[in-house]
Amino acid sequence: MGRSTVVVTELGLGTAQLGGLYAPMDQRTADMTVAAAWEAGVRYFDTAPHYGLGAAEERLGVALAGQPREAFTISTKVGRLIVESTDGERERRWGFSADAVRRSLDESRQRLGVDRIDVALVHDPEAHLDQAVDEAFPVLAELRARGEIGAVGVGTRDLPSLIRFVRETDIDAVMVAGRLTLLDASALTELIPLCRERGVSVLNAGVFNSGVLAAPAPTAGTHFEYVAAPPDVVARARDIETAALGHGVSLPEAALAFAADSDVVSSVVVGAESPEQIAGTVHAFAARRRDLTALWRSVRQVNRG
Protein backbone atom coordinates (compact mmCIF):
# COMPACT_ATOMS: atom_id res chain seq x y z
CA MET A 1 0.00 0.00 0.00
CA GLY A 2 1.65 3.18 -1.19
CA ARG A 3 5.34 3.22 -0.35
CA SER A 4 4.79 1.17 2.82
CA THR A 5 5.16 -2.56 3.39
CA VAL A 6 1.57 -2.83 4.63
CA VAL A 7 -0.54 -5.35 2.74
CA VAL A 8 -4.32 -5.13 2.34
CA THR A 9 -6.73 -7.52 0.68
CA GLU A 10 -8.66 -6.35 -2.38
CA LEU A 11 -11.82 -6.40 -0.28
CA GLY A 12 -11.78 -4.93 3.22
CA LEU A 13 -14.42 -5.01 5.95
CA GLY A 14 -15.51 -1.64 7.29
CA THR A 15 -16.89 -1.70 10.81
CA ALA A 16 -19.28 1.24 11.16
CA GLN A 17 -22.12 -1.28 11.38
CA LEU A 18 -20.30 -3.09 14.20
CA GLY A 19 -20.67 0.18 16.07
CA GLY A 20 -24.41 0.30 15.39
CA LEU A 21 -24.50 2.66 12.39
CA TYR A 22 -28.08 1.94 11.32
CA ALA A 23 -29.19 -0.60 13.91
CA PRO A 24 -27.86 -1.94 17.23
CA MET A 25 -25.39 -4.82 16.98
CA ASP A 26 -24.37 -7.27 19.68
CA GLN A 27 -21.02 -9.03 20.04
CA ARG A 28 -22.37 -12.36 18.77
CA THR A 29 -23.50 -10.82 15.47
CA ALA A 30 -20.22 -8.95 15.19
CA ASP A 31 -18.31 -12.19 15.76
CA MET A 32 -20.27 -14.01 13.05
CA THR A 33 -19.93 -11.14 10.57
CA VAL A 34 -16.17 -10.88 11.03
CA ALA A 35 -15.86 -14.67 10.89
CA ALA A 36 -17.75 -14.73 7.58
CA ALA A 37 -15.41 -12.10 6.17
CA TRP A 38 -12.39 -14.06 7.38
CA GLU A 39 -13.68 -17.29 5.85
CA ALA A 40 -14.11 -15.45 2.53
CA GLY A 41 -10.47 -14.37 2.58
CA VAL A 42 -10.81 -10.82 3.91
CA ARG A 43 -7.77 -9.87 5.97
CA TYR A 44 -8.10 -6.09 6.04
CA PHE A 45 -10.37 -4.51 8.65
CA ASP A 46 -11.04 -0.78 8.97
CA THR A 47 -12.42 0.83 12.10
CA ALA A 48 -12.45 4.12 14.04
CA PRO A 49 -13.15 5.46 17.52
CA HIS A 50 -16.01 7.43 15.93
CA TYR A 51 -17.96 4.27 15.11
CA GLY A 52 -20.27 3.59 18.01
CA LEU A 53 -18.19 5.69 20.42
CA GLY A 54 -15.48 3.04 20.50
CA ALA A 55 -17.84 0.06 20.34
CA ALA A 56 -16.76 -0.94 16.81
CA GLU A 57 -13.11 -1.17 17.87
CA GLU A 58 -14.04 -3.19 20.94
CA ARG A 59 -16.22 -5.62 19.01
CA LEU A 60 -13.69 -6.00 16.21
CA GLY A 61 -10.95 -6.72 18.73
CA VAL A 62 -12.98 -9.46 20.39
CA ALA A 63 -13.96 -10.94 17.01
CA LEU A 64 -10.33 -11.15 15.86
CA ALA A 65 -8.85 -12.23 19.18
CA GLY A 66 -8.41 -15.84 18.12
CA GLN A 67 -6.58 -15.04 14.88
CA PRO A 68 -2.78 -14.70 14.54
CA ARG A 69 -1.90 -11.01 14.69
CA GLU A 70 0.44 -11.23 11.71
CA ALA A 71 -2.39 -12.64 9.55
CA PHE A 72 -4.51 -9.47 9.33
CA THR A 73 -4.24 -5.72 8.82
CA ILE A 74 -6.12 -3.13 10.88
CA SER A 75 -6.59 0.52 10.10
CA THR A 76 -8.10 2.91 12.59
CA LYS A 77 -8.40 6.65 12.73
CA VAL A 78 -7.39 9.72 14.70
CA GLY A 79 -9.18 13.02 15.07
CA ARG A 80 -11.93 12.13 17.51
CA LEU A 81 -11.26 11.22 21.11
CA ILE A 82 -13.79 9.23 23.10
CA VAL A 83 -14.25 10.67 26.59
CA GLU A 84 -16.62 10.14 29.46
CA SER A 85 -19.00 12.98 30.25
CA THR A 86 -19.93 14.00 33.77
CA ASP A 87 -22.89 11.60 33.73
CA GLY A 88 -20.68 8.67 32.77
CA GLU A 89 -21.74 8.49 29.12
CA ARG A 90 -19.25 8.39 26.27
CA GLU A 91 -18.97 11.35 23.93
CA ARG A 92 -16.76 12.46 21.04
CA ARG A 93 -14.32 15.34 21.08
CA TRP A 94 -12.26 16.57 18.15
CA GLY A 95 -8.53 16.21 18.62
CA PHE A 96 -5.82 16.76 15.99
CA SER A 97 -2.98 17.89 18.22
CA ALA A 98 0.12 15.72 18.61
CA ASP A 99 -0.92 14.73 22.14
CA ALA A 100 -4.46 13.92 21.02
CA VAL A 101 -3.16 11.72 18.20
CA ARG A 102 -0.87 9.75 20.52
CA ARG A 103 -3.65 9.34 23.06
CA SER A 104 -6.13 8.28 20.39
CA LEU A 105 -3.84 5.55 19.07
CA ASP A 106 -3.06 4.30 22.58
CA GLU A 107 -6.75 4.07 23.41
CA SER A 108 -7.54 2.40 20.08
CA ARG A 109 -4.92 -0.26 20.77
CA GLN A 110 -6.49 -0.90 24.16
CA ARG A 111 -10.01 -1.16 22.74
CA LEU A 112 -8.83 -3.45 19.93
CA GLY A 113 -6.62 -5.52 22.23
CA VAL A 114 -3.66 -5.35 19.84
CA ASP A 115 -0.06 -4.29 20.26
CA ARG A 116 0.09 -2.18 17.11
CA ILE A 117 -1.99 -0.32 14.54
CA ASP A 118 -1.04 -1.11 10.96
CA VAL A 119 -2.57 1.97 9.29
CA ALA A 120 -3.46 5.25 11.01
CA LEU A 121 -5.81 7.52 9.08
CA VAL A 122 -6.57 11.16 9.89
CA HIS A 123 -10.37 11.14 10.07
CA ASP A 124 -12.60 13.88 8.61
CA PRO A 125 -10.11 16.73 9.07
CA GLU A 126 -11.84 19.29 6.85
CA ALA A 127 -12.93 21.63 9.67
CA HIS A 128 -9.46 21.39 11.27
CA LEU A 129 -7.34 21.04 8.16
CA ASP A 130 -4.38 23.25 9.08
CA GLN A 131 -3.94 21.55 12.43
CA ALA A 132 -4.37 18.12 10.87
CA VAL A 133 -1.61 18.81 8.33
CA ASP A 134 0.70 20.73 10.65
CA GLU A 135 0.29 18.73 13.90
CA ALA A 136 -1.47 15.40 13.39
CA PHE A 137 0.47 14.30 10.32
CA PRO A 138 3.99 14.98 11.66
CA VAL A 139 3.43 12.84 14.76
CA LEU A 140 2.02 10.03 12.61
CA ALA A 141 5.02 10.29 10.30
CA GLU A 142 7.30 10.08 13.34
CA LEU A 143 5.51 6.97 14.60
CA ARG A 144 5.78 5.45 11.13
CA ALA A 145 9.53 6.19 11.00
CA ARG A 146 9.95 4.45 14.38
CA GLY A 147 8.00 1.42 13.16
CA GLU A 148 5.18 1.89 15.66
CA ILE A 149 2.64 2.11 12.84
CA GLY A 150 3.05 0.73 9.36
CA ALA A 151 1.41 3.38 7.18
CA VAL A 152 -0.22 6.81 7.38
CA GLY A 153 -3.18 8.20 5.51
CA VAL A 154 -6.27 10.37 5.61
CA GLY A 155 -9.91 9.39 5.28
CA THR A 156 -12.87 11.61 4.42
CA ARG A 157 -15.43 12.32 1.73
CA ASP A 158 -14.08 15.86 1.39
CA LEU A 159 -11.95 15.87 -1.77
CA PRO A 160 -10.10 19.17 -1.12
CA SER A 161 -8.82 17.75 2.19
CA LEU A 162 -7.61 14.56 0.53
CA ILE A 163 -5.95 16.51 -2.28
CA ARG A 164 -4.15 18.81 0.14
CA PHE A 165 -2.76 15.88 2.12
CA VAL A 166 -1.53 14.18 -1.05
CA ARG A 167 0.10 17.40 -2.29
CA GLU A 168 1.69 18.53 0.96
CA THR A 169 2.61 15.33 2.84
CA ASP A 170 4.07 11.92 2.13
CA ILE A 171 1.07 9.85 3.15
CA ASP A 172 0.78 6.26 1.99
CA ALA A 173 -2.95 6.15 1.34
CA VAL A 174 -6.20 8.05 1.14
CA MET A 175 -9.52 6.55 2.14
CA VAL A 176 -12.00 8.26 -0.14
CA ALA A 177 -15.59 7.89 1.01
CA GLY A 178 -18.40 8.03 -1.51
CA ARG A 179 -16.50 9.96 -4.18
CA LEU A 180 -15.42 7.06 -6.41
CA THR A 181 -18.79 5.44 -7.05
CA LEU A 182 -21.33 4.94 -9.81
CA LEU A 183 -23.27 7.96 -8.55
CA ASP A 184 -20.34 10.23 -7.68
CA ALA A 185 -17.05 9.71 -9.45
CA SER A 186 -15.72 13.19 -8.70
CA ALA A 187 -12.48 11.71 -7.32
CA LEU A 188 -11.49 10.83 -10.89
CA THR A 189 -11.06 14.47 -11.86
CA GLU A 190 -8.08 15.44 -9.69
CA LEU A 191 -7.55 13.10 -6.74
CA ILE A 192 -6.99 9.83 -8.59
CA PRO A 193 -4.48 11.24 -11.12
CA LEU A 194 -2.65 12.96 -8.26
CA CYS A 195 -2.50 9.74 -6.22
CA ARG A 196 -1.14 7.92 -9.25
CA GLU A 197 1.52 10.59 -9.74
CA ARG A 198 2.54 10.62 -6.07
CA GLY A 199 2.44 6.85 -5.49
CA VAL A 200 -0.42 7.06 -3.00
CA SER A 201 -2.82 4.13 -2.69
CA VAL A 202 -6.58 4.56 -2.56
CA LEU A 203 -8.80 2.75 -0.09
CA ASN A 204 -12.24 3.10 -1.64
CA ALA A 205 -15.00 3.28 0.97
CA GLY A 206 -18.66 4.23 0.85
CA VAL A 207 -18.91 2.59 -2.56
CA PHE A 208 -22.67 2.04 -2.22
CA ASN A 209 -23.18 5.72 -1.26
CA SER A 210 -24.55 4.64 2.13
CA GLY A 211 -26.96 2.08 0.70
CA VAL A 212 -28.70 3.25 -2.47
CA LEU A 213 -26.40 1.11 -4.65
CA ALA A 214 -26.27 -1.87 -2.30
CA ALA A 215 -29.36 -3.75 -3.48
CA PRO A 216 -31.30 -4.22 -6.71
CA ALA A 217 -34.23 -1.92 -7.47
CA PRO A 218 -33.38 1.15 -5.34
CA THR A 219 -36.47 2.62 -3.68
CA ALA A 220 -37.43 5.85 -1.95
CA GLY A 221 -36.25 5.92 1.64
CA THR A 222 -33.00 4.06 1.02
CA HIS A 223 -29.90 5.82 2.31
CA PHE A 224 -27.73 8.19 0.30
CA GLU A 225 -24.95 10.05 2.10
CA TYR A 226 -26.41 8.73 5.40
CA VAL A 227 -29.85 10.32 4.89
CA ALA A 228 -32.92 9.35 2.87
CA ALA A 229 -32.06 9.39 -0.83
CA PRO A 230 -33.81 12.18 -2.75
CA PRO A 231 -36.05 11.13 -5.67
CA ASP A 232 -33.63 12.28 -8.38
CA VAL A 233 -30.83 10.14 -6.89
CA VAL A 234 -33.12 7.09 -6.68
CA ALA A 235 -34.16 7.65 -10.31
CA ARG A 236 -30.52 7.90 -11.40
CA ALA A 237 -29.64 4.72 -9.49
CA ARG A 238 -32.51 2.92 -11.22
CA ASP A 239 -31.26 4.09 -14.62
CA ILE A 240 -27.77 2.84 -13.76
CA GLU A 241 -29.28 -0.48 -12.69
CA THR A 242 -31.02 -0.77 -16.07
CA ALA A 243 -27.72 -0.15 -17.81
CA ALA A 244 -25.96 -2.68 -15.59
CA LEU A 245 -28.54 -5.38 -16.25
CA GLY A 246 -28.08 -4.74 -19.97
CA HIS A 247 -24.43 -5.72 -19.49
CA GLY A 248 -25.26 -8.82 -17.46
CA VAL A 249 -24.51 -7.58 -13.94
CA SER A 250 -26.63 -6.44 -11.01
CA LEU A 251 -26.45 -2.96 -9.52
CA PRO A 252 -24.37 -4.07 -6.48
CA GLU A 253 -22.03 -6.04 -8.74
CA ALA A 254 -21.56 -2.98 -10.95
CA ALA A 255 -20.98 -0.74 -7.90
CA LEU A 256 -18.24 -3.00 -6.56
CA ALA A 257 -16.62 -3.51 -9.95
CA PHE A 258 -16.50 0.23 -10.59
CA ALA A 259 -15.07 0.83 -7.11
CA ALA A 260 -12.17 -1.53 -7.83
CA ASP A 261 -11.60 -0.45 -11.43
CA SER A 262 -8.84 2.14 -10.91
CA ASP A 263 -5.23 0.94 -10.86
CA VAL A 264 -4.52 2.98 -7.71
CA VAL A 265 -7.26 1.34 -5.64
CA SER A 266 -5.63 -1.10 -3.22
CA SER A 267 -8.80 -2.13 -1.41
CA VAL A 268 -12.55 -1.67 -1.62
CA VAL A 269 -13.83 -1.28 1.95
CA VAL A 270 -17.42 -2.37 2.49
CA GLY A 271 -19.44 -2.59 5.68
CA ALA A 272 -21.76 -5.42 6.67
CA GLU A 273 -24.30 -5.94 9.42
CA SER A 274 -24.62 -9.74 9.13
CA PRO A 275 -22.76 -12.81 7.85
CA GLU A 276 -25.28 -13.07 5.01
CA GLN A 277 -24.55 -9.52 3.92
CA ILE A 278 -20.79 -10.03 3.75
CA ALA A 279 -21.31 -13.31 1.86
CA GLY A 280 -23.43 -11.46 -0.70
CA THR A 281 -20.79 -8.77 -1.06
CA VAL A 282 -18.02 -11.31 -1.59
CA HIS A 283 -20.10 -13.03 -4.26
CA ALA A 284 -20.89 -9.73 -6.01
CA PHE A 285 -17.25 -8.64 -5.88
CA ALA A 286 -16.35 -11.35 -8.39
CA ALA A 287 -17.93 -9.22 -11.15
CA ARG A 288 -14.84 -6.97 -11.08
CA ARG A 289 -13.04 -9.58 -13.17
CA ARG A 290 -15.23 -8.82 -16.17
CA ASP A 291 -14.51 -6.16 -18.78
CA LEU A 292 -17.23 -3.59 -18.10
CA THR A 293 -15.73 -0.68 -20.02
CA ALA A 294 -18.86 -0.32 -22.14
CA LEU A 295 -20.99 -0.17 -18.99
CA TRP A 296 -18.91 2.66 -17.58
CA ARG A 297 -19.63 4.65 -20.75
CA SER A 298 -23.34 4.05 -20.23
CA VAL A 299 -23.07 5.16 -16.59
CA ARG A 300 -21.39 8.40 -17.63
CA GLN A 301 -24.29 9.08 -20.00
CA VAL A 302 -26.81 8.45 -17.23
CA ASN A 303 -25.00 10.80 -14.85
CA ARG A 304 -24.80 13.53 -17.49
CA GLY A 305 -28.58 13.29 -17.77
Give the amino acid at 218.
P
Contact assessment for residue 48 and residue 56, using Cβ atoms and an 8 Å cutoff: yes
Q: Cα(282)–Cα(268) distance, rounded to whole angstroms? A: 11
User: Which of 242, 177, 240, 245 shows the shortest CA–CA distance to 209?
Assistant: 177
State the Rg of the chain over Cα: 19
Give the phi and the psi of residue 218 in degrees, each rounded to 5. -55, 140
User: Can you give the three-state secondary structure of 263-293, one letter per residue?
Assistant: CCEEEEEEECCCHHHHHHHHHHHHHHHCCCH
- Cα angle 271, 34, 50; round to 5: 50
Give the phi and the psi of residue 155 in degrees, each rounded to 5. -135, 125
Catalytic: which of 22, 44, 51, 226? 51
Helix, strand and coil in the chain, % to nearest 5: 45, 20, 35
DSSP category for residue 230: P
Q: Cα(174)–Cα(205) distance, rounded to whole angstroms? A: 10
**Is 226 an annotated catalytic residue?**
no
Catalytic residues: 51
